Amino acid sequence: MTARYSFIARVPDEPGALHRVAELLGANEVNINRIQYDHRIDRNTVFFEVTGPYDGYASVIGELKRIGYLQTSLPTLRLLTLSVWLPHRPGGLFEFLQEITNARANIVGIDFDDHGVHPERVELTLNLSESTAIETLLDRLKARYRLKVVEYDPTTRRLDDTVYYVRLAEQIRELIGDADDRFLLCLLQDMNHVVQELHHHGRDPAETFETCLVAGRRLRETKGPGFFADIQEFQISPRVRLWSFQLPAGGNTYLLDAGDDLVMLDTGFGCFHDECLRMFEACGITSLSRLSRVVVSHADADHSGGSGLFSAPSLMHPATAKIGRDLSRAYGSRSEGSVLEAVYTTLINLFSAYTPATNVETFPTIPLGFRHGFAIIDRLRVGDLVLEVLEGHGGHMQGQCYLFEPDAGLLFPADALINFDSLTPERREYASIAVYLVTSVNVDSELARNERRDLLDLVVETDARLASSGRRCLVAGGHGAVSVLEEGRLVSCGEVVPYRPAR
């Protein structure tokens, strides 16, 4: 019985090395489905996805282990920079480099010029895999040469491209905490697949890797003392007050406060949970014991990633529940098989401490009626408001739902309607990461355009109906400020108050 497997080969940078692996696969009737190797990124690392019988695959893996071509762990690499004074005679540099070769050290950089200020001195940077090898090499060199240790860096930050993926793994480990080599190697395999896909779109591999890391760094930088938000407050009805919280990265969180009841719409990233609790307290919401429900608009981590950190039940579409458990954000769409969507989901979930809801209640999907082309699949009462749950069409993501209160004129359109003009440069920059990595944040762009048009029509119709009372339809989007519609554009309304935690 055939199955699909993946592995990472670490081959010597010499003619015939890659051919030897391909020959071994063919001899064991294992077919190559994907291979990716780029000498410009890493001269030794090759990613394979293959299909074949288990016995054949096991034979290949065993032989690759035997010849030292299989990468199953991430070596601990150490960087050493030396200044060495050599005898200025023929063969002097050759003899010195022979010592380096004998120590199995890899030269990262070398600088020597006999017309320079120090014609007898060579400066070189090495990486070695074991601290004992460094000690042995230094002892041998000290016995023959005058030398000075310029720098010893065990962190791998300055390693050259021969160990690019090792360095990348260490940077990921810094962002997500302890992770074993097996997990990181699987993640590198996935990230490499993204690089290969985006390379077909003309994207530079190094830029793609860096963009992945920027997402994690941004989330880490905006936790704790680096956290900030923008807050808006509206009295929606005699009994219900709306709080809007624009978080530093990702989606908004909303609270509907009815005094004896409190309902949350979307949670933001899980990594911001503690910061959000302190922010709520600063706004006078000192206890979440009143929190009866957490409504999740859709399964993206920046909207649902903290839902599992609240004891209140999380209400969501059945598709949102499926995606939240273990599926790509492209589930149920024309791009469901996209490796870009699958890996982006994995990376963002890792970086943002994604904690999906365990206490889940799903909306029914039998329509109770329709409004502007959207099925009304449920109604939620909060104080004196009755919010219709409108089922989206799946343009941004399967399972995305909208909340609408027709009498109060309040619409929560999630990520289908956003006031982009209200986003700060930092938030726009973060939002661009997803666009870069998946080429579009919408799993079906045509459906997304239709949903946006229908929602705008709903806002126009609501404004016209409320005009006699002097009220407007408030649009509380998934990102950006709460807004009203002016001549086809969303315009911020109400006061926006910046928030930073007390130091």
Instruction: Dump pLDDT digits (tens) for 339-361.
Output: 777 777 778 888 898 998 999 99
Pairing relationship of beta strands 291-295 and 314-316 according to DSSP bridges? parallel
**Quick one: DSSP state of residue 70?**
B
For CATH 3.30.70.260, the residue range(s) in the chain are: 2-67, 78-153
Neighbouring residues of 256: CB distance < 8 A, sequence distance ≥ 6: 236, 240, 241, 242, 243, 262, 263, 264, 265, 382, 383, 385
pLDDT greater at residue 440 or residue 251: 251
Strand partners, 316: 362
Q: How far apart are CA 215 and CA 192, in angstroms?
A: 17
Report residue 191 as tokens.
């990230």
CATH superfamily, domain at 224-499? Ribonuclease Z/Hydroxyacylglutathione hydrolase-like (3.60.15.10)
| Residue range(s) occupied by CATH 3.60.15.10 in the chain | 224-499
- 2-67 is classed in which CATH architecture? 2-Layer Sandwich (3.30)
- Biggest CA pair distance of the chain: 97
Q: What are 228-265's pLDDT values in tens digits?
A: 999 999 999 999 999 999 999 889 999 999 999 999 99
Question: How remote is the C-alpha of 164 from its chain's centroid?
Answer: 20
Q: How far is CA 38 from CA 11, 165, 196, 418, in A?
A: 12, 12, 10, 39
Could you tell me which CATH number the domain at 78-153 has?
3.30.70.260
Residue pointed to by tokens 């919280």: 245
Q: Are 285 and 262 in contact (CB under 8 A)?
A: yes
Mean pLDDT of the chain: 86
pTM of the complete model: 0.75
- Name the phi and psi angles at 36, rounded to 5: -140, 125
Top-ranked range on mean pLDDT: pick from 192-196, 247-251, 314-318, 330-334: 314-318
The residue written with tokens 């190797």 in the block is: 37
Model pLDDT, residue 241: 97
pLDDT at position 160 is 44
440 or 242, which is more confident?
242
